[in-house]
Amino acid sequence: MISRATKGRTIGWSTALATIAGVLSAPGLAQQAPPSTTPQAAPMVQPIQSVALPVLNPAQAAQLSQLIAESGFAQGLRHGATAAPRPQDNDAIVRAALDYARAVHSGRLDSSDFQADWGLRPMAYDPLPAFADAVKRDRVAAWIRSLPPPYSGYDALQKGLVAYRAIETAGGWKAIPAGPDMGVGASGARVLALRQRLAVEDRDVVATGSKFDAELKEAVVRAQRRYGLNPTGLVSTGTLAALNVPAADRVRQIMANMERWRWLPAELPAKRIQVNIAAAVLTVFEGDAPIASMKAVTGRPGNETPMLQSRIHSVVLNPPWNVPTSIATKELWPKGAAALARQGYKIIGTGPGRRLQQQPGPKSALGLYKFDFDNPYAVYLHDTPSQSTFASFSRLASHGCVRFEKPGPLARLLLRNDPAWQPEQIDTALAKGKTLRVSLQPQDQVQVYLLYWTAFASANGEMSFRADPYGWDKTLAAKIEKRSALTAVAAR
């Protein structure tokens, strides 16, 4: 962890943020989860060809075989309750234990399973030394318990997995039929169906009655908050869609998010900036505590914001926008040169190699600030002159980069230890309109994480979900199940 101690002029993040109190709001902190790093992925199945495997005594063999069978289901490595046949001989049991350890500690996927825009990778992990020691000291059960990610967020998801599997086993919930919006004063069979649906997740809801009263409205508001929707108390199309997602899909969603937790390192930097892509929220962390949060705008489906980890190394004041060729071709060139000039675009070059650059100024799509970090996707954090999107509860509207509400306070926070770039100097430079790149000192560079969290527990332990706009949950859950099935067959 990065030390919180300060030296010389170095100002702690909490102190620096206190100087801009009231500027950074803190909505939606429960949507956030600790971030990950991007080490090289290790193959899921690591051969142990020339290494002597530990020899289990009969009691250890029986105990370990049972623990693996039960824990694999509990850790969300498979959806169905039916377990694969248990291995019988010593080497088969040991290999199954080592495979389980890699899966629950560092992820079920093989490196080939990762999509290009899943730019996070678990650290390579060899479970054999610790396992051999556990066998020697007859502490196999303790070793099994030590394998999952050491985060309360993961533990909360595991508890949520138990709860939603129980709901699924009991039959889940019935879909609420389509129809007009429902609010206070409505009545009929659809209101009864709404009550029955809400009561499955909310024990305070009365599951009988066909009238939409004030108490039912409050229950709808609670559900809308759990699903990241506008808490109006009116059941419209978006709320109906969230409530009608089958319980089995919620189980798979939890499984997918548990897998992403396994991609995290054992230790995290004390200071970090994190974006929940699915929830479109940016949060500043000190240690594991969120100290400021603000709304963001992330990539729309088709222009997905990638998952990644990097380090912010510079702040660009009055940045120009070098328009990607794909955006220029699809959206800007058809407008014509005159229209582009009115929007501050400059045509650079001629012929097939020409490109567009939007000049700094009030119309610039990047606003006044750009935060650069190395990554292969050419994405970054930036300001925007358009604030209207932040008022929406659905904020997936960018081409892949991340816009956010309060870039000025973040820039002052990052530059707080540079005597040449105090707030007065920043404001002066912005007023001149000239593009300036300010490099951060190595000790002031901050880790940034773009993550995709769609299932998590709130402060009171209640499960919350967000939409899966990119379809990554379903894809990941299917890959987990497929890999689990393949390893089960290989172990026979």
Q: Is 399 a catalytic residue?
A: no
Q: What is the pLDDT of residues 170-199, one digit of tens each?
A: 999 999 999 999 999 999 999 999 999 999
User: Mean pLDDT, the chain, as a whole number?
Assistant: 87
List C-alpha distances in Å: 353 to 83, 321, 339, 468: 58, 17, 20, 38
> Residues 79, 105, 313, 401: which is the catalytic one?
401
Q: Provide the greatest CA pair distance for the chain.
A: 82
Q: Is 382 a catalytic residue?
A: yes
Q: What is the DSSP letter of 123?
A: P
> Residues 79, 105, 313, 382: which is the catalytic one?
382
Question: Tens-of-pLDDT digits for all 492 residues of the chain?
Answer: 333 233 334 455 655 555 444 444 433 333 444 333 344 444 444 444 456 899 999 999 999 999 998 889 999 999 987 766 777 889 999 999 999 999 999 999 999 999 999 999 999 999 999 999 999 999 999 999 999 999 888 999 999 999 999 999 999 999 999 999 999 999 999 999 999 999 999 999 999 999 999 999 999 999 999 999 999 999 999 999 999 999 999 999 999 999 999 998 888 788 999 999 999 999 998 876 888 899 999 999 999 999 999 999 999 999 998 888 788 888 788 888 888 788 878 888 887 888 888 889 888 999 999 999 999 999 999 999 988 889 888 899 999 999 999 999 999 999 999 999 999 999 999 999 999 999 999 999 999 999 999 999 876 678 999 999 999 999 999 999 999 888 766 655
b (16+ CB within 10 A) / e for 154-188? bebbbebbebbbebbeeebbeebeeeeebeeebee
Q: What is the pLDDT of residues 256-276, one digit of tens each?
A: 999 999 998 888 788 999 999
User: What is the model's pLDDT at position 390?
Assistant: 92
pTM over 0.85: yes
Please check whether residue 284 is in contact with residue 275, taking contact to mean a CB–CB distance below 8 angstroms.
no
Please check whether residue 43 is in contact with residue 80, taking contact to mean a CB–CB distance below 8 angstroms.
no
The type of residue at 85 is P
- The rounded distance, in Å, linking the Cα atoms of 287 and 107 is 24
